[in-house]
Structure 1
C-alpha cells in the first residue's frame, strides 16, 4: 500500500516545513489532472490537514444548502476504513464553501447519510485566483474510538472530485486520486483505493 508519513511540528517549524503529498492523478482520464496537494501534521489532540486544489474558480452547486449538494460540486474527500473489509468505513466530502457531506458506510456502497462526524471536525476554506485551500482537523480520540487509528497509522483514501462543468444541478466530475483503485469505471468505494497515513 502507498504510504504518507506525517509528523508533529517541532518548535519553530511552520506548515511550510511539512512534507507535501503531490502524486495525485486521473486514474480514468488520459490527460494530466490539475495539481492537487495534501499535507498534514498532528499534535496531542488532533490531526491537522490541508488540501490545495489548483484550477479555475471552483464550480459549487448551491440551492437549499443541504449537505447532499456537495455531490454536485467541486470537492476534496477523505475516506477512513476500520479494516480491509470496510465494515464500516467513514467518508468526508468537503467543498470549497466549507460544506461537509459526512456519512458512515459499509461495503458495498451502503451509505448512512444521517450519520454525522462529531462537532470536533473543523473546516476552513479560502478560494484564490488559481486554487482553493481547505484545512481541517480530526480528533485523535474519535479516530481511536472508531478503531481507525491503530498503532499510529490510519488506512485512508484521499481524493478530489474536479467539477469541470455545472449546468443547473448537473455536474460533470473528473475524479482524481492518490491511489489507483484499478477499477474499470470511477469508484473510490473499494479497498484498493486506500493507502496508509503514518504518524511518526
Structure 2
C-alpha cells in the first residue's frame, strides 16, 4: 500500500491518522503541493485524476479524497472502526466530519488561498482574515455539535473516530496559521487528548519524511 501525501496537508494528515490507528504499514510517497507536483501530468494520469493529495494505491486500486480513503480502509480493515455502523452514532460522526471536510477545508486550502492572493490580488492581511473567518465559523459549529452530542475524551465516546481524524488536523492547521483556538473549549480538549495518543503522534506533520520547518 502506498500513500501519496504532503506533510502539511490536513487531508493527508487525516489518512495518516487512520492508517496509524489501524496499524497498517504503507510506503510514504511525498508530493510537494507547494511546488505543484500534484498537478504534474504523470501524477494526474497514473495516480490521482483529481490532482490533489492524498491518494491511496492498494495493488491495482487507486483512490483519492481522504474521506473515501478512510471509508475504504474501514471496509477492508475494520478494526478499529472509524465510521461507526450504528446508525445514529454514524450520522453524528459524519455530521461533524463533514463540517470540517465540506465547510472549513475547501475554502481554506492552499489552492484557494493562492487564488485569492495571486489572481484576485487580495493582500496578505485580507487573505489571513479570510482564513480566520471560515475557521472560526466552522469551529463554532463543531463546538456546538460537541456541546450537544459529544461525550467522552474523544468527539463521540471512548474511542477515536473519523470525527477525530478530521478535527485534529484542522486545529493543527488553524494554529499554524495563527488562529486563536482557545475559545473552542470542547474541541481543544479532544485535540489535547489526541496529542498524547501514539497514532496521532505518528501522523503529525513534523514526523513525516518530507517535513520542512518553513
Task: Identify the structure with the greater helix proportion.
Answer: 2
Which interval holds the TM-score relative to the shorter structure? Answer: under 0.3
Q: Give the TM-score normalised by the residue count of structure 1.
A: 0.26
Task: Identify the structure with the greater strand proportion.
Answer: 1
Q: Give the TM-score normalised by the residue count of structure 2.
A: 0.25
